[in-house]
Homo-oligomer: A and B are copies of this chain.
């Protein structure tokens, strides 16, 4: 996923990833303390594979990054992506206020 400009598909992936309480909690946990996938998995009432998939969804949305450390895969948050999502929502506020300058950000696509 490109960092400096988000395509519609990028934005789709970000909000899609955020639309699940377990995934939002994984992000929060990773921000509180970087943890391995299995360490995260122990927190939830579901299989390891399910959590692994959730992390994969977050990774495809670049909301987290996995880094291999020995036999573990440690999950780092990517605060920048969240920031970009928040600013994207802020852009709607500008549209609402009648400012056209940041409209392009909302439904762009390179």
Interface residues of A in 66-99 (CB under 8 A from B): 77, 79, 82-83, 85-86, 89-90, 92-93, 95-96
Tallying the copies of this chain within the complex gives: 2
Alpha-carbon separation in the docked complex, A90 to B15 (Å):
14
A-B residue pairs in contact (CB < 8 Å), sample of 26: A11-B19, A11-B21, A12-B19, A12-B20, A12-B21, A15-B18, A15-B19, A16-B16, A18-B89, A19-B19, A21-B107, A24-B107, A28-B92, A28-B95, A28-B103, A28-B107, A31-B95, A31-B96, A32-B95, A79-B92, A79-B93, A79-B96, A82-B96, A85-B89, A86-B93, A89-B89
**Interface set of A (CB-CB < 8 Å, partner B):** 8, 11-16, 18-21, 24-25, 27-28, 31-32, 77, 79, 82-83, 85-86, 89-90, 92-93, 95-96, 103, 106-107, 109
